Amino acid sequence: MIKPIGSSELKPLFIYDSEVHHQVMQEAEKLPSITISSQAASNAVMMGGGYFTPLTGFMNVADALSVSESMRMTDGAFFPVPVMCLLETTDAIKDAARIALRDPNMDGNPILAVMDVQAIEQINDQQMELMTQKVYGTTDTEHPGVKTFNSQGRFAVSGTIQVLHFSYFQDDFPDTFRTAVEIRNKIAERGWERVVAFQTRNPMHLAHEELCHMAMERLNCDGLVIHMLLGKLKPGDIPAPVRDAAIRKMVELYFKPNSAMVTGYGFDMLYAGPREAVLHAYFRQNMGATHFIVGRDHAGVGDYYGAFDAQTIFDEVPEGALQIEIFKADHTAYSKKLNKVVMMREAPDHAKEDFVLLSGTKVREMLGKGIAPPPEFSRPEVAKILMDYYQSLK
């Protein structure tokens, strides 16, 4: 199986030993504590599950700046985006050497992790602007990722962490949320050697489904991991439970048995386009995938990024940093001429009207009116689940 990044084995930061877990939990209740941001909490969940191996905790400012500039930490270790715990105030923890981090996304703000504090640093405007520009490609506060990153506070608390639970993801998505450790184990159990991963924050329409079939066939893969984001999205995006139901129905009906695994991960979407595409590849290698599909405007939002920037950025990844191979996909759509889904670049004799193309806005309008999109766009069983959701909003 493909090795994790920078390590011969995964390094999950969750405390799996039940006795140690109990001891640390007892200790944590007596420590100075602070409720962290949702983004920091999702970073902790990802570190807890081994996805961010070999990180041992939250980055200090020097590492965050270095990662933003060059995708390398100050010691040369590869990482594509800053992983920070940013706070508006440190009054509750002062200069404590060990603190408890509380979950902002669960009732009562239970303790999510314990940190051994390495440093508490204040970030200045110039540093914040540099990180924002390098990671998001813009400083426009209308960009949802920029807005979230810049609204968390300017105090960076860094240090190693021990993770005590997986936030709401394990409770709300017991059949879908999986750590990188669990996915690696499942891949091994199924005997898969060549594994392609598909990232989604949306329901999968026919074009997405066929793209996965294409990738599996062309790459000669044993299996597919459909890996959906379960964390926070921008307003208007379809909630995770609805996406989950739609994707599971599609896999049940249209994929061969033991060929596709439906899983999810606990992370808040950054909408960082190219940089987030590299992050997605990073943790897919850690979960055991040998290949990763990167499509048109991957992890983008609005018109902040070029259509294929998320593919060309892999030319900038330091040599040898990633072993996972990127399957570079074009926009896929149903061809009326060929009566099948194709990558649009592979049909040079087609005009725009030769494809079945519907905007997201148009599809939402149809679903909201109880009208199923054409079968060339969406499987009827998937459309039914989405129509029921949109009808429930009325």
In terms of C-beta distances under 8 Å and separation of at least 24 residues, what long-range contacts does 334-337 make, across chains too? 334/206, 334/207, 334/376, 334/377, 336/376
Exposed (0-12), middle (13-18) or buried (19+): which is 353, by Cβ within 10 Å? exposed
| Length of the chain (residues) | 394
Alpha-carbon distance 226 to 251, whole Å? 9
CB-based contact 341:213 (threshold 8 Å)? no
Phi and psi for 196 in degrees, rounded to 5?
Answer: -105, 135
Considering the domain 18-170 in this protein, what is its CATH number? 3.10.400.10
How buried is residue 75: exposed, middle or buried, by Cβ count under 10 Å (0-12/13-18/19+)?
Answer: exposed
d(CA 124, CA 322) in angstroms, rounded, equals: 32
Right CATH number for 175-392 from 3.40.50.720, 3.40.50.620, 3.40.50.300, 3.50.50.60? 3.40.50.620
Token pair, residue 371, equals 């009208």
Structure-token pair, residue 134: 């390098």
- Amino acid 106 reads M
Question: Among the options 154, 202, 248, 364, which is catalytic?
Answer: 202
Active-site residue flag, 201: yes
| pLDDT at residue 283 in the model | 97
Q: Are 178 and 265 in contact (CB under 8 A)?
A: yes
DSSP-derived 3-state class of residue 379: coil
Q: At 216, list the tokens.
A: 């599996």
Contact 234, 144 (CB under 8 A): yes
pLDDT tens digits for the chain (394 residues)? 999 999 999 999 999 999 999 999 999 999 999 999 999 999 999 999 999 999 999 999 999 999 999 999 999 999 999 999 999 999 999 999 999 999 999 999 999 999 999 999 999 999 999 999 999 999 999 999 999 999 999 999 999 999 999 999 999 999 999 999 999 999 999 999 999 999 998 889 999 999 999 999 999 999 999 999 998 877 777 888 899 999 999 999 999 999 999 999 999 999 999 999 999 999 999 999 999 999 989 999 999 999 999 999 999 999 999 999 999 999 899 999 999 999 999 999 999 999 998 887 788 888 888 999 999 999 999 999 999 998 888 7
Residue 359's pLDDT is: 81
Cα angle 140-303-212, degrees, rounded to a multiple of 5 = 125
Q: Which of 98, 201, 248, 364 is catalytic?
A: 201
The domain ranges of the chain are 18-170, 175-392
Q: What is the pLDDT of residue 237?
A: 78
pLDDT of residue 358: 86
Torsions phi, psi for 149 (to 5 deg): -60, -40
- Which letter does DSSP use for residue 136 in this model? H
- Of the candidates 224, 219, 221, 214, the one whose C-alpha atom is nearest the C-alpha of residue 345 is 214
Question: Angle at which helices 61-70 and 125-136 pack, to 10 degrees?
Answer: 40
The whole-number pLDDT of residue 163 equals 98
